Structure 1
C-alpha cells in the first residue's frame, strides 16, 4: 500500500527543494481554519466509533442513560409542542393545528404534515420552520425577543419576495454545444486531456497539435501506472503538451484543456507568447480519445508530422466544424495537393468565380475556403446531376443525420451508386 502511494507522488522536472504540503487543502497551504476543520472531523470520527455506536467501558453506560432518558425530543418540542411557537402557527394562514399531527420525531411529524397540506401551503410550512429556527438562534445568541405576529408577517413577506425573484418553471438556458476552432494564423493549437481510472489507480494522457488549417502535426498518448487523481492526469497532460512544444521549438501556440481548475492554476502573469484556455469536453474529442486509450494502456507513443489512424475520424469531425467548403477542408486535412472538384451546382461554381455573390452570412468562411484553395493545385467543374449519384446520396444521408461521419472505406449501402458513376459516361460543363 505504501509503495503505491509513494509511486503516485508526481516528481518535479526542476531541482527544487522539498517542502511541507498540507494535503488536506487543494492549494497545499495550511490555515487555522482548515486545520481546525480536520481536527474536528477526526475527533468526531473517533467519538462516534468508540461511544454512541457501542456500549464498551464507562462511556457506554453514560450513552445508555442519555438514549434511555424519558424526555421529549428537542426538535419536536421546538417546532410543535412549544406554547410560545404555537402562537406563530395560529397567526399563520395555514390553519394548521400542529399539536394534533402525530409524530414522535421531527422527521416523522414533518412527513405527516406534508400529507395534510397541498400546493403552496407546503412552501409556507417550510418557510415557517425556517423562521422558527432563525428566531430561536437570534433569541439564544443575540438576546432578541420573539413576537409571533411579526414573525408570521415576516414569513409571508420572505416567501413572496423569494417566489417573485424565482418564478415557477424558471431554469437556466443550456449553453450551446462547443466546437473546436482553428487557431489564429501563424499559431499552433495544442489540445490536452487526462483520463483517470480510480478503481485501478492508473490513467493516461492525450495530446494533439494542429496548425492554422487544422492539419495534425503531432500527437501523443502516454500511460501512467500510478496516478493520484483526475487533476493529476490533467496537470500531466498540460505539462506533456508544453514540453512537447518546448522540445520542438514552437514558441507561438495556444494550449486548451477541458479542466478549468488546471487552466486557472496555469494562467499566471508571466511573459510568454503562448495562451492557455479552458475548452468544453465536446470540443476536445481528439485529446480525450488519446487519453482514454492511453489509460487502458492501448497506446503509448508520440507521432510527429503524422497522426495515428485511431483518431482520423475525430480529426475530420473537428475539421468539419471550423469552416465552410467541407470538400476543400477535408482535402487539406488529408494533405491532398492536386484536387479536381466536381459539382452539379451552377451557383457554387459562380461563387468561386465571383465571391461577391456569396450571402453575407457565409462570406467570411467562403473567403477562408478560397484562401485555402490558393495553396493547392485546384480545378473545379460543373456537370449533370445524373452523373453525381454517389455524392448526391451522401448529401441526402448527411441531411437526415446529426453530426459528421467519416468512413475509411465505402459503405456497402453506397456501392450501387458508386458502380453507376463508375460505369456511366459523364458529360462535363467546363467554364
Structure 2
C-alpha cells in the first residue's frame, strides 16, 4: 500500500478529546475513546442530526445530562458516552493522534496502527491475518495477478511458476536450504502448506520456531538477492549466513542491555530488590492492574517504614477502561492523596512504570485524557515537597503487585492496617533481603 492509499487508514487514528464540547458533532465526529473507530454506531436514529457534545451536558456545566443522553442515543452508545471522561475545567476540544501516549503522530505508531487495522494484532491467528501476511509477499505469481508484466518463472530455478509454496518448499534451492539446516520436511500429505506452517510454528518450542523463521528468512533473502543483484550462493552457505546473522543480532541485543542499564538509575541492578527508606521516612509502593474484558482497573498502595514494617495498605477498583499510563498515574495520585489525608510529611513513592514516572517528572503536556491525571499529580507533589517519586523494577514492587490483585468490588476500596495474608510472605522476604 502506498502513502496515498494509507492516508485514509491513518486518518482514522485521530480523534477529538472532549473539552468544552462545542466543536464536536456527537453523531458524526470521532470522539469516543472506547470505540474502535471512535464514533457512535451508524444508526438510522442519527441521520440528519448535528448536535454538539456540549448540548449533552447540563446547562453551564461539563456534566453529562444522563436522561438526555439515553433519550438521544441507543443504549450501547449512551453507556459509552456516559463513561467518557470530560475535563471539568474550561479548555477547548482538541484533535490528537490516539495511537501514542504523547498524542503526536510518528512513523512507528502509524505503521503499527495500519498493521493492526489491515493484518491484525497477531499474525499467528486464524482470523485471516496470517494469510494476509503471506499474500502480500511479492512473488511473481501474485504480481502477475495484479497486472504487473513480469516473467512468471522462479528466478532461482527457472523451472516452475514462482508462487509461495514453490519459493519456500518446492524449489530445488528451498529444499536444499531445509536440508542444510537439518530440518526434514515431509510435504507429501500436506494440502494447505500455509496452515501446516502456522500449526508447525504454534506447536514448536521457542528455539524451534526461531529456527523455522530463520530458514524462511534466509530463503527469501537470497531469492531477493537473485532478483535484484543477480547474486546466489549455495544453499549451505545461505543457511550459514542466515543463522550467523540471527546469532549476531541476538548477541548485540544482549550486549546492549547492560549498557542501557548503566545509563540511568532507573535501570540499575539495585532496583531489583526492595530497599527500606532512610530513617524517619516512609516508602509507598504503587501498582495498577488493567482488566480489559471487564473494562475495569485496580490500583494498590503499600506503606512501610525504614525497618520494612508494614504501616498500611489500600486497594481500590474503578469501573472504566484505562490505558496503562492512566491506571498507573491514577495509582500514584491516589497514593499522594492518601498521604495528604494521613498527614505524612516525608517519604518515597515507588512505581514500576517508568513511563508514568517520566510523565510525572517531565515537563511535557499531555493532550489525551490522561493529561488531567498527570497535572493533578504534579500539583499534589508540589504541595508535599517532602515526598519524591522513584522508579523500581517489578521485582522490587512485588508487594504492591500482589496487593492490586486482592479481590475488590468495583467502585469500592479496602484499607488494611495489618497486612493481608497474601502479602505476608513477600513482606517477610523483603525484610530478610535488606
When the two structures are superposed, what TM-score results if normalisation uses the length of structure 2? 0.48
Of structures 1 and 2, the one with the larger relative CO (CA 8 A, separation 6+) is 2
